[in-house]
């Protein structure tokens, strides 16, 4: 490679990389016995359920990226006049854009999860948690691999990360406290992802994507449990001022995730008025239901951890998601065919 070619190659790599500064305490755990009940069982389950995305998914499946991968009836823009003016070719292109956008955010979220899991290996104070976080890092690498391959080879369209998702990932990755990494990733982002995966798994008509999502959900279900088990009892005797900081983070994160689903990226891509599109999406019954259902796992798990305190309850009431507080995430897993 010539010097000029090398310079160009390095410049391209710089454009593809995005670096943030992180700092957190790294802990050795010299007690190799069992000190956190439940983590060893999760680790054993993680070892049993490892899978190979290269060989266990039917990558030879033909996929029409402009086909009805998800039913058109749930399109939140169905009543929007500019959408109704589109011809069938333009509607097919929009369908392609919408599914590619959704899977792209899954992809970017999985890379964030991979980074956080790798941080937890060093940060968590129990050896079993280090074991499990190591398996989760592998899981997330596999998820990045399969979503990336599907986007590149089947949809041939990858979108940049949504600004709100990026903000929450950055906040989780850069925080120095290990419990914030659990809260931001295992409880909030992974909990939201499980709900989104479950919804897509139930409605998609594309067999390869359906199989891919089911494999990913098997892993993600354990990851959420990892957060719940690890944080169980941690907040019981925490000082009030410290608990308030956690409350602020939970409220901020949930509002941020709710506000990212307003159709702005699609609006810009289609040349539509973003404020008009936002108003239509916010008023769409399917979209409104989806935005709320995303929190069906987050709310009960926060309650289990003792974090559904008055300020959080008030914020969740305003978001319309407090009604999920008594839901059963394990029952949701069983309904999706995931083993306990």
What is the structure's pLDDT at 7? 44
Please list, in sequence order, all residues whose beta carbon lies within 8 angstroms of the beta carbon of residue 50, skipping any fewer than 6 positions away.
135, 138
Q: Assess if residue 208 is contained within a domain.
A: yes
Which of 231, 150, 145, 216 minimizes the C-alpha distance to 185? 231
Burial 253-277 (b: 16+ CB within 10 A, else e): bbebbbebbbbbbbbeebebeeeeb
Q: Assess if residue 11 is contained within a domain.
A: no
pLDDT digits (tens, 9 = 90+) for 161-203: 999 999 999 999 999 999 999 999 999 999 999 999 999 999 9
Domain limits at 210? 36-51+76-335
Q: Assess if residue 61 is contained within a domain.
A: no
Domain count, the chain: 1
Highest mean pLDDT among 6-20, 32-46, 180-194: 180-194
Q: Residue 191 maps to which CATH number? A: 1.10.620.20
pLDDT digits (tens, 9 = 90+) for 214-240: 999 999 999 999 999 999 999 999 999
DSSP state at residue 330: H
What is the structure's pLDDT at 128? 93
Q: Assess if residue 69 is contained within a domain.
A: no
Q: Would you say 148 and 107 are in contact if contact means Cβ atoms under 8 Å apart?
A: yes
pLDDT digits (tens, 9 = 90+) for 292-331: 889 999 999 999 999 999 999 999 999 999 999 999 998 8
Q: Assess if residue 88 is contained within a domain.
A: yes
Average pLDDT of the segment spanning 199-213: 95
Q: Assess if residue 7 is contained within a domain.
A: no
Q: Assess if residue 307 is contained within a domain.
A: yes
Return the structure tokens found at 225: 């449990």
Distance from C-alpha of 39 to C-alpha of 233, rounded to nearest angstrom: 14
Containing 305, the helix (H) or strand (E) segment is: none
Confidence of residue 13 (pLDDT cuts 50, 70, 90): very low
Q: Assess if residue 58 is contained within a domain.
A: no
CA 326-331-332 angle, to 5 degrees, is 90
């Amino acid at each position: 490679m010539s010097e000029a070619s090398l310079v160009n190659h390095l410049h391209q790599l710089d454009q593809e990389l995005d670096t943030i500064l992180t700092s957190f305490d790294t802990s050795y755990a010299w007690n190799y016995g069992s000190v956190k009940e439940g983590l060893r069982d999760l680790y054993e389950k993680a070892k049993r359920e490892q899978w190979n995305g290269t060989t266990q998914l039917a990558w030879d499946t033909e996929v029409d990226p402009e086909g009805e991968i998800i039913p058109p009836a749930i399109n939140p823009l169905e009543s929007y006049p500019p959408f109704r003016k589109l011809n069938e070719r333009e509607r097919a292109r929009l369908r392609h854009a919408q599914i590619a956008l959704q899977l792209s955010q899954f992809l970017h979220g999985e890379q964030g999860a991979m980074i956080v899991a790798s941080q937890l290996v060093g940060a968590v104070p129990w050896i079993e948690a280090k074991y499990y976080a190591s398996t989760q890092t592998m899981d997330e690498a596999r998820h990045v691999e399969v979503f990336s391959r599907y986007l590149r080879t089947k949809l041939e369209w990858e979108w940049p990360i949504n600004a709100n998702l990026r903000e929450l990932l950055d906040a989780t990755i850069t925080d120095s406290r290990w419990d914030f990494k659990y809260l931001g990733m295992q409880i909030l982002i992974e909990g939201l992802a499980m709900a989104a995966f479950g919804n897509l798994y139930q409605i998609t008509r594309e067999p390869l994507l359906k199989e891919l999502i089911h494999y990913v959900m098997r892993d993600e279900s354990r990851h959420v449990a990892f957060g719940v088990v690890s944080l169980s009892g941690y907040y019981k005797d925490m000082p009030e001022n410290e608990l308030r900081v956690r409350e602020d983070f939970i409220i901020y994160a949930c509002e941020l995730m709710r506000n990212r689903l307003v159709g702005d990226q699609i609006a810009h891509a289609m040349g539509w008025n973003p404020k008009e599109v936002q108003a239509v999406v916010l008023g769409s019954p399917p979209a409104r239901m989806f935005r709320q259902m995303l929190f069906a796992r987050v709310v009960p798990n926060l309650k289990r951890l003792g974090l559904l305190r008055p300020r959080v309850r008030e914020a969740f009431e305003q978001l319309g998601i407090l009604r999920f507080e008594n839901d059963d995430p394990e029952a949701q897993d069983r309904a999706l065919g995931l083993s306990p």
